[in-house]
Amino acid sequence: MDKEFKQYPDIAPVMGNYSRATKVGNMFFMAGCTAGDSSASLPDQVRVTLGRIKGVLESEGQSMADIVKLTTFVTDVNEWAEHGDAINAILQELFQGQYPPNTMIGCAALALSSMKVEIEAIAMF
């Protein structure tokens, strides 16, 4: 089965020698996205990050409804809980009640010290 390695520098640039996404058949695997070097709040970083994922999918002619799995890395699980209502409102807006499975993993740090969240996605289309 052929693999297509994809980059989206205007939507979700990468910080190294890796692809933003790989398409294999009808499966689409997206590397973790972040809000970049940002001092924004956690909810704002979640909004920017998911907006980048949405932008990549839309550039492929797809939508957030095509996501079948998310993995979310956060540097402070307590901060995630503190902002739960705001984050859930963002998820409601983007997924409109059709929420994909989402594994949340607390981690010590992300690529830049200002990053609070990184989200990777798997979609089918």
**Residue extents of the structural domains in the chain:** 3-8+19-124
**Which stretches of the chain are DSSP H helices?**
42-59, 77-82, 84-95
Q: Which amino acid is at 19?
A: S
pTM, two decimals, is: 0.96
pLDDT one-digit tens code per residue, 72-120 = 999 999 999 999 999 999 999 999 999 999 999 999 999 999 999 999 9
CATH class of 3-8+19-124: alpha beta
d(CA 49, CA 51): 5
Which residue carries 């607390």 as its tokens? Answer: 106
- 40, two tokens: 């924004």
- Is the predicted pLDDT of residue 1 greater than 90, yes or no? no
